[in-house]
Chain A
């Protein structure tokens, strides 16, 4: 009998509807209004790569040791270096990083002995061309500049 009444009065369905109704409060809105409202990603987020420069003199921190290129499973980092005859040290000449193949695993970042290569919190990496996804040294030092939308 109880089961019959529950069936007639749609108790099970109303229970479910009540849950839906409880969640209607505007306070519970969860959607992010993305381009207008940019999400704050975690501090450790592994996003766009950056080649750090020394803030005092603008020189690169990279010592061209090639460890990041060796650590990368996708072999997408190319480090070019040249021996400076005066200081007898290797100097970085070019650095390319193909973000179209990168899986942001963070192994290159872990391998870098001087914390020159870092995966940053920038996450907008789209580009209109395939070549645009291959970042050179200048791009890596400056970082991407995504369009900021406002409303």
Chain B
């Protein structure tokens, strides 16, 4: 029997991550390669597991709210909104209109910051270094609004069960309007940098195709689904927090490839600005806190609320046993479910595309592992 070396095998197994800068955290992808071609992958997750759902069972309802910010730390406000809405549904209360409008403004700002971070890092993975600086510059302006409003930039803990803790500060409206005016030309600027850039287009067009049917099979939601031409947005499909009052379009793509996902997200940022502009013009006056006592003790029951987070459908399932602590909190994180589709998307692609495809899924490992 002749001696064989690993060079003779046509299948090569390599590890990408968990310390790879392009896996957006601590994702380990085991790649099975034939030369440059990817034959299959296997994701190993859990490096960032903190047991957030279990922590929820040992904390009171209010105490658990800051922990949800730490799942998708890029879009902490959306996480807070989802959790608060779920507990409010259990309690059968609704946040007052003023609180709802402020919630919409902050979550949409958060969608912009999340997409900006995605755009910057995705471009960085592909090799375009310039956009990340521009994105972070504008992201900073939005984070300043968060900081002024609730005192933290990333893990905001901005909402409380039943409404808001903090009243708006003086000049909130002006700052938000100024941000909208400043931001729209900047989106054009990013597009100028990337949309027609031939390196960008060639790296992204036709890469990582995931059709609408496949998306539905895997349960993939968010911009990835919309780029496949499926017009599905929970803000329209089952409006929450007063989204039905605002006019906006759902941007969709046709080709279901990485390039379309980029275009969809760029359009989403513009639509977010549109929503913010409408919301900030008519923030109702009135109380900011609904009828929720100091001790939150929902009746026995369960509630599932899902919202459209920047990355897709974010669901919270909370079970109450009529005590001050949840019996069970289960999170349906968009990143975790979207990550499943990675294998289907990279099969047959080249090694260099794997990075682009992980980037386009827009995953946050804090949310995948929880």
Binding site for B on A (CB under 8 A): 7, 12-13, 15-16, 18-20, 23, 30, 41-46, 71-73, 103-107, 110, 119
Contact = CB atoms under 8 A, between A and B. Distances in A.
A44 B166 contact: yes
Nearest to B194: A16
5 contacts: A7-B198, A12-B198, A20-B193, A43-B169, A73-B64
A42 B148 contact: yes
B66 A107 contact: yes
A15 B193 CA distance: 7
B148 A73 contact: no
Contact of B197 (A16, A18, A44): A16
A7 B130 CA distance: 22
Contacts of A72: 63
A8 to B, nearest CB: 12
B189 interface: yes
B59 A73 contact: yes
Given A19-B189, A44-B169, A30 B140 contact: yes
A7 B149 CA distance: 48
Given A30-B140, A44-B149, A46-B152, A105 B130 contact: no
A113 B115 CA distance: 40
Contacts of B150: 44
Contacts of B287: none
Contact of A46 (B59, B134, B151): B151
Interface residues of B, number: 31
A13 B200 CA distance: 10
Most interface-central of A12, A16, A18 (chain B CB within 10 A): A16
Contacts, number: 67
A63 to B, nearest CB: 18
Contacts of B148: 42-44
Given A19-B189, A73-B64, A107-B63, 18 more contacts: A7-B198, A12-B196, A13-B198, A16-B194, A20-B193, A30-B140, A42-B151, A44-B147, A44-B149, A44-B150, A45-B147, A71-B62, A73-B63, A73-B66, A73-B67, A104-B152, A107-B66, A119-B151
B49 interface: no
Interface of B: 59, 62-67, 70, 130, 134, 137, 140, 144, 147-152, 155, 157, 165-166, 169, 189, 192-194, 196-198
Contacts of B151: 42, 44-46, 106, 119
A24 to B, nearest CB: 12
Contacts of B189: 19
Nearest to B165: A110
B66 A15 contact: no
A42 B158 CA distance: 15
A20 B130 contact: yes
A30 B134 CA distance: 10
A32 to B, nearest CB: 10
Give the most central of B152, B165, B166, B196: most A CB within 10 Å.
B152
Given A7-B198, A12-B198, A44-B169, A23 B157 contact: no
A110 B150 CA distance: 12
B347 to A, nearest CB: 31
A106 B149 CA distance: 13
Contacts of B193: 16, 19-20
Contacts of A106: 151, 157, 165
Considering the complex of A and B, which 10 residue pairs feature the smallest CB-CB distances, nearest first?
Answer: A105-B66, A73-B63, A44-B151, A46-B151, A12-B196, A42-B147, A42-B148, A16-B193, A105-B157, A45-B151
Nearest to A16: B193
Contacts of B157: 105-106
A42 B198 CA distance: 42
A103 B66 CA distance: 8
Contacts of B169: 43-44
Nearest to B58: A73
Nearest to B148: A42
B130 A15 contact: no
A12 B65 CA distance: 47
A13 B130 CA distance: 13
B192 A19 contact: yes
Contacts of B165: 106, 110
A15 B192 contact: yes
Nearest to B55: A73
A72 B59 CA distance: 10
B323 to A, nearest CB: 16
